[in-house]
Amino acid sequence: MPLWLELVIRVGGVLVAFLVLPLLVGQAEHKVMAHMQGRLGPMYAGGFHGWAQLIADGVKFVQKEDVTPREADRAVFRLAPVVALVPYLLVLLVIPLGPGDLVAQPLDIGLFFVLAVVGVGVLAVLMSAWASANKYSLLGGLRGAAQLLGYELPLVLAAASVAMAAGTLSLTGIVEAWQPWWLLWQAPAMVIFFVAGLAEIRRPPFDMPVADSELVFGYLTEYTGLRFAFLLLAEYVGIVVIAALTTVLFLGGWQGPFADAQLGWLWTLLKVAAVSFVIIWFRVSYPRLREDQLQRLCWLVLVPASLAQLVLTAAVRVAL
């Protein structure tokens, strides 16, 4: 196969996943929340089980007027949704779906690349907050920046633990080195990474930057129409990315109870779906944390726990 054709197929596959998987997560969230909280609305659109709810939402966003505040920095205001989406697209390029060549771009420093790119998300929050010329947006952006910068540390330390255990920064290498018993001694790192990941994508109970009871809708307040839809899409892509990284780093990626390598991609997708379900479950199960509670959890619980996990990992590596 010519190199250019292989490149087109790989990038095309990532683009399809980038567009389809977040929509499936959004549809699942409608249904899961409808069942868990007794919501009737999402179960009506289209008839059977509300199958057309996502289509109805899309039509609604397209029909809404695209408004830019008069005092806004128009260029930055319009660019923020793009900055929110692009980092997740780049991350999906290096996440392995299965063994062998089932990855768009294998990198020897894939984990380093992922952590560096995910951290760019804070720019979109600050851009949308500052450019909106709205005090509620600005307060939400400052909260978001403090949250993202704080939880970046336990996220990186937890990922460093599993990288140290595997002896490589390659995401494919980490999956290949993974053993089922890692579910025990790397469990604290997995919990830390998952919680910090929720905070990074500002999902409940870490949604203080968009607290509707205090900040209208935080840094998203002035966005309407398709731009708001893109920012919402970025949240759902973030769910897919955090679920995929948790799967690859801590749950064995494509490894499953059967040795058939041909089914590796299926095991990866099933694990990503399960972790995404847990993220949705958190939204309907836990109340929003106050700002002081959010920062206390980060600096007094997750950071010390992640440092202790690094010490444990180093000890086990030396012992082995």
Per residue in 93-127, pLDDT (tens digit) is 999 988 877 787 888 888 999 999 988 888 888 88
CB 221 within 8 A of CB 133: no
| CA quadruple 293, 295, 300, 301: dihedral sign | positive
What is the 3-state secondary structure of 230-276?
A: HHHHHHHHHHHHHHHHHHHHHCCCCCCCCCCHHHHHHHHHHHHHHHH
Give the span between the Cα atoms of 187 and 309, in whole angstroms.
9
pLDDT value at position 70? 81
Rounded distance, CA 249 to CA 175, Å? 7
Per the structure, how many domains does the chain have? Answer: 1
pLDDT computed for residue 12 by the predictor:
87
pLDDT tens digits for range 223-277? 888 888 888 888 899 999 999 999 999 998 888 777 666 777 888 999 999 999 9
Closest CA to 242 of 122, 141, 114: 114
For residue 1, name the pLDDT band (cuts at 50, 70, 90): low
CA dihedral 136, 138, 143, 147 (to 10 degrees): 140
Comparing CA positions, the residue from 246, 239, 266 lying closest to residue 171 is: 246
**Contacting residues for 17 by C-beta, under 8 A, at least 6 apart:** 92, 240
The 10s digit of each residue's pLDDT in 169-219 is 999 999 999 988 888 889 999 999 999 999 988 888 888 888 877 777 778
The boundaries of the domain holding residue 72 are: 3-319
62-88 pLDDT per residue, tens: 787 778 888 878 888 888 988 888 899
**How many CA atoms within 13 Å lie on the side-chain side of 132?**
26
In this prediction, residue 67 carries a pLDDT of 80
What pLDDT is recorded for position 260? Answer: 63
Q: Which of 2-6, 73-77, 194-198, 311-315 has the lowest mean pLDDT?
A: 2-6
Contact 137, 221 (CB under 8 A): yes
Tell me the HSE value of 28 on the side-chain side, using a 13 A CA sphere: 20
- Residue entry with tokens 């995404």: 276
pLDDT given for residue 6 in this prediction: 77
Residue 38, CA distances (Å) to 16, 30, 41, 284 in order:
33, 11, 9, 11
